Structure 1
Amino acid sequence: MGQFFDTIPTSLIPWIQKQHMFWVATAPLGGEGHVNVSPKGLDGAFHVVDEKTVWYEDISGSGIETIAHLRETGNGRITVMLSAFEGPPRICRLFGTGKVHEFGTPEYDRLLPPNERRPGSRAAIVITVHKVGTSCGYAVPYYEFKSHRTQLLEFYQRREKAEVESATVDAPEKGMRSYWLQKNMSSIDGIPGLLSAPYSDKEFRWSERDLERKIEMVMDKTSSMVDLKLVLAFTVGVVVSRLAWR
């Protein structure tokens, strides 16, 4: 049965921190506006500060719906949903209001210093939780987690490197700021999105940890393949030997 709490139960926090993905839902105030639901991932992107505060690193995308809705005058509503795909079934919703701290602001730098920031990171979304809902999740199927994708990080790393290596003052055509100016200035309903990040003169720096994990993952797979080949070779050798003695 569903339960509601005024704050995040302490017993729920370890489970929240173990989830590999989450969803955020926002909507404009106008009845004709589009409701947005966005899936989010990346290891370590979601943080629980305390029983009433969470935040996540917002990686750039082709849209800017969440940030636009949070910044709409009189709005700020957001719901975060997490769901168990292994172990006991569970769904958790965090209802709250969100604040946007864009790349280049002091608040962003405090939460995401260069040794923690990922390529393409455009904002930190800080959410004040005023209600928590849990439900059974009996209809949610089991899924096996394999790994986080790295294509998006690689794409934005190329964008940011192009900007860092550019000798011009203006953002290069294939740079990160140019992408923001093309894709992230307003929502599909025309609500303003990014306000300062495209004009920040802060240097792009990032952590290599996610890309390093991809290399480790490939090496692990390669090692596994080598081990499999050795096992197969050994098995074939044993079979051939036994046939030879017959």
Structure 2
Amino acid sequence: MGKQFPEIEDHHRAFIEEQHMFFVGTAAEDGRVNISPKGMDSLRVLGPNRIVWRNLTGSGNETAGHLLRVNRMTVMWCGFEKRPMIMRAYGNAKTIHETDTDFEELNGLFPESPGARQIYDMTVEMLQTSCGFAVPFFDHVGERDVLANWAEGKGRDGVHEYWAERNQKTIDGLPTNTPVITK
């Protein structure tokens, strides 16, 4: 049976910080629901009701488009290696782009990356845990370097060009408000 909490407690934070990946779910009023796996040291718990995570440039940009329409987000972690637990944080989030004043400060919480696209600043309204007894064991072998190498190869200017060409709309055609930055 799931347990619900009004905030992230210390033992929840410890569990979150042990995980190598998390999943983010968003949806607009209609169209597709998006669930994305995330990793690469891209999430920080900044308080009992605040999580920030950095989104790196990729082929899709669903979260940005969905949050413009319906401001709700679910973040989920699964205990794959040790303790069987599923944890979900429910809330709303603000999209912070490179052109926003607080981007630099929040982006500085993470390792440097030319692929940094957005920071999501999430207000957690409820945290829920459940057993996770059916979640299989998986061993973490290491991070993939493919995305980091791709962004390094493109450089920041190339990443900006990619945003202009590939990250302006969701797969359902919703705008993402990702800035088009030119030299």
Normalising by structure 1, report the TM-score.
0.71
Q: Gapped runs of 5+ residues in structure 1? A: 164-174, 202-246
Q: 1:78-133: CA deviations, max 9, x gaps?
A: 00000001112000000010111112322111111398331211011110000111
| CA distance, structure 2, for counterparts of residue 8 and residue 107 of structure 1 | 23
Q: After superposition, where does 1:206-217 map in structure 2 within 5 Å?
A: none
The letter of the residue matching 1:8 is I
Contact 1:104 1:200 in 2 (8 A): no
Q: What is the CA RMSD across the aligned residues, in angstroms?
A: 1.6
Cα offset, 1:181, TM superposition: 1.1
Q: 1:150-194: CA deviations, max 9, x gaps?
A: 110100111116x3xxxxxxxxxxx21221111100111111113
For 2:65, which of 64, 68, 73 is the aligned residue?
68
The letter of the residue matching 1:179 is Y
Residue equivalent to 1:14: 14
Contact 1:57 1:123 in 2 (8 A): yes
- The structure in which a higher percent of residues are helix is 1
| CA distance, structure 2, for counterparts of residue 114 and residue 94 of structure 1 | 20
Contact 1:6 1:132 in 2 (8 A): yes
Residue equivalent to 1:77: 72
The letter of the residue matching 2:65 is A
- 2:70 is the counterpart of 1:88: no
Q: Percent identity?
A: 34
The letter of the residue matching 1:123 is Q
- 2:137 is the counterpart of 1:142: yes
Contact 2:163 2:178 in 1 (8 A): no
- The structure in which a higher percent of residues are strand is 2
| CA distance, structure 2, for counterparts of residue 194 and residue 132 of structure 1 | 29
Higher relative contact order (Cα pairs below 8 Å, separated by 6+ residues): 2
The letter of the residue matching 1:21 is M
Contact 1:119 1:160 in 2 (8 A): yes
Number of matched residues? 183
Residue aligned with 1:49, SS: strand
Normalising by structure 2, report the TM-score.
0.94
Instruction: Name the CA shift for 1:156/1:114 in 2 (closer, same or farther; >3 Å).
Output: farther
